[in-house]
């Protein structure tokens, strides 16, 4: 079987900009998740104690890891679009970002359940 003709790299996508915009969006999102996780930890420490620290640090670490994988995915996507004309990406950054959001939600829920909410 013969391979299909390779399309011109410029005809397939906006060279370098779409993956770069996606990486910048991941940077903002992961920064927001990391900061929210640490803020939620700060405000829930009086109610949850050491568990708040563990969950807060895990949430922040997941956000950092999600960004690191998104940055790696950016380089892979750029090479893939340049070389083959197709986009190949994984879903690991989304999974880790979801874990960071769940950590923030768990801290907030624990804070509210244990009496830290409005009186």
Give residue limits of the domains in the chain.
15-108
pTM over 0.75: no
Backbone angles phi, psi at 7, to 5 degrees: -75, 160
Q: For residues 73-109, b (16+ Cβ closer than 10 Å) or e, as one string?
A: bbeebbebbeeebeeeeeeebeebbebbbebbebbbe
Joined tokens for residue 97: 């970002």
Of 86 and 52, the one with more pLDDT: 52
pLDDT digits (tens, 9 = 90+) for 82-100: 776 666 667 778 888 888 8
**CA separation for the pair 13, 77 (Å, rounded):** 11
Single out the residue of 88, 72, 91, 69 nearest to residue 80, CA to CA: 88
């Amino acid at each position: 079987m013969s391979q299909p003709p390779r399309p011109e790299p410029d005809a397939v996508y906006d060279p370098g900009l779409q993956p770069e915009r996606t990486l910048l969006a991941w940077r903002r999102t992961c920064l927001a998740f990391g900061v929210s996780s640490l803020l939620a930890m700060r405000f829930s420490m009086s109610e949850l104690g050491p568990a708040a620290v563990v969950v807060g640090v895990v949430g922040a670490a997941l956000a950092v890891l999600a960004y690191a994988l998104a940055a790696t995915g950016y380089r892979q996507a750029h090479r893939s679009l340049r070389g083959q004309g197709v986009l190949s990406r994984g879903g690991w950054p989304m999974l880790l970002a979801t874990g960071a959001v769940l950590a923030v939600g768990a801290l907030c829920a624990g804070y509210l359940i244990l009496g830290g909410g409005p009186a």
